[in-house]
Amino acid sequence: MIAGFAVVGWLVAATLTAAPAVARAEVVAPADGYGFSVGAPMTWMSWDEAEGELDVMARTGASWLRVFIDWSRVEPMPGAYNWGYVDHWINGALDRGIRVLGLIGYSPDWARAPGVYFTGPPTDPEVFASFVKTVVKRYGDRVSNWEIWNEPNLPLFWGYLGDRAKGYTELLKAAYPAVKEVQPHSTVIAGGLSPAFAPDAPPTFVAEMYERGAKGYFDAMAMHPYVFPHGLQADTLNGWSDVERVRALMVANGDGDKKIWMTEMGAPTSAPSAEGVSEQEQAKQIVDGLRKAAQTPYSGPAFIFCIRDTDSADRDDREANFGIVKTDWTPKVAASVLAR
């Protein structure tokens, strides 16, 4: 489907879609605004699809886009760069009046140990820092907020490589001065932590980061306070309660003046067996999360994951159904609730 026609269809449908569970007037955003995170599909979707997603986002109250700068895609061989998709997303966001959070992560095969998946860390943090510096030099006139890695507390995004908190702290300690050398007044955000239980729970991970010397190497923390399928009141994933525990650790370590950015939040409309919720409940959980961030004085911007489903037809795939519009651009209830 051509993106331009898709977005026109979305606009028409969005005005007709009822939102019985949540009303637009109930959307309360945090003081620093809200936006969207798209994730890995940014790296492979067509330009028309990217334009469509940017247009959908621009027709909400969003003021931020989290752009994934995948080192493995941008520098597949040492010194050989392909900036095409990153340029497209960053320029497309800025052209629509949307600010950018740059998420830098993952490793090309030439920079990581044999047998380590591409989401795993590089063997040498200084090589990653060199790439980070290159990114900031390229986009520093347009972007000044940088998140270092995604969900490093999970094996999926770091690998089973011993002490993840230690390894991630070493990476952060290399990346932070690299950013500041190029852009001293930038904001460097420690990678968003996923809800997880011991030993991967965010409070455990952050405590270990501090023990390994992370203090002074980030300007803000990031969390992913998902609460699906049962919602904020149940908080079965410890999404928001772990935010509060991490905040307590930051205060105890003298970082009470730093914010926590909520760089992913949302809920999937997959089947109940795949931890999914109804469209009405998805909208409610998004609105509840934005309101909770707005009521949290130390919250930075909040980012909804994501704009568009990757495969709405596969309701057994949780990860494919987080969008506020379906794969064919049909709006869900959340799209109407967030529409300007």
CATH number reported for the structural domain that contains residue 94 in this entry:
3.20.20.80
Reported confidence tier of residue 276, pLDDT bands at 50, 70, 90 = very high
Q: Count structural domains, the chain.
A: 1
Is residue 13 in some structural domain? Answer: no
- Identify the pLDDT of residue 35: 98
Assess contact for 232 and 266: CB atoms under 8 A: no
- Given a cut of 70, whether residue 99 has pLDDT beyond it is yes
- Identify the pLDDT of residue 174: 98
Over residues 131-155, the pLDDT tens digits come to: 999 999 999 999 999 999 999 999 9
How buried is residue 43: exposed, middle or buried, by Cβ count under 10 Å (0-12/13-18/19+)? middle
Output the six-digit token pair for 315.
Answer: 């309701």
Assess contact for 36 and 301: CB atoms under 8 A: no
Is residue 283 in some structural domain? Answer: yes
- Identify the pLDDT of residue 4: 45
Percent of the chain past pLDDT 90, that is, above it, reads: 87
Is residue 14 in some structural domain? Answer: no
Is residue 310 in some structural domain? Answer: yes
- Identify the pLDDT of residue 16: 39
Torsion sign (Cα): 277, 280, 283, 285: negative
CA 139 → CA 99, 131, 150, 184, 309, distances in Å? 12, 12, 20, 14, 28
Instruction: Share the mean pLDDT of the chain.
Output: 93
Among 8-17, 99-108, 304-313, the range scoring the smallest mean pLDDT is 8-17
Mean pLDDT of 95-115: 96
- Identify the pLDDT of residue 266: 98
Is residue 16 in some structural domain? Answer: no
**φ, ψ (nearest 5 deg) of residue 127:** -70, -40
- Given a cut of 70, whether residue 5 has pLDDT beyond it is no
| Strand-pair partners of 188 | 146
N-term to C-term CA, the chain:
24
Reported confidence tier of residue 23, pLDDT bands at 50, 70, 90 = low
Torsion angle, alpha carbons of 210, 214, 220, 223, to 10: -60
Reported confidence tier of residue 117, pLDDT bands at 50, 70, 90 = confident
Radius of gyration of the chain (CA): 19
Mean pLDDT of 243-267: 98
* C-alpha triplet 215, 220, 222: angle, nearest 5°: 110
Domain that holds residue 74: 38-338
Is residue 24 in some structural domain? Answer: no
Is residue 28 in some structural domain? Answer: no
Is residue 89 in some structural domain? Answer: yes
- Given a cut of 80, whether residue 9 has pLDDT beyond it is no
Over residues 157-196, the pLDDT tens digits come to: 998 877 999 999 999 999 999 999 999 999 999 999 999 9
Over residues 285-328, the pLDDT tens digits come to: 999 999 999 999 999 999 999 999 999 999 999 999 999 999 99
- Identify the pLDDT of residue 161: 74
Strands (E), the chain: 34-37, 64-70, 99-105, 145-150, 187-192, 221-223, 260-265, 299-305
Q: In the Cβ-directed half-sphere of 71, how many Cα atoms lie within 13 Å?
A: 31
- Identify the pLDDT of residue 337: 97
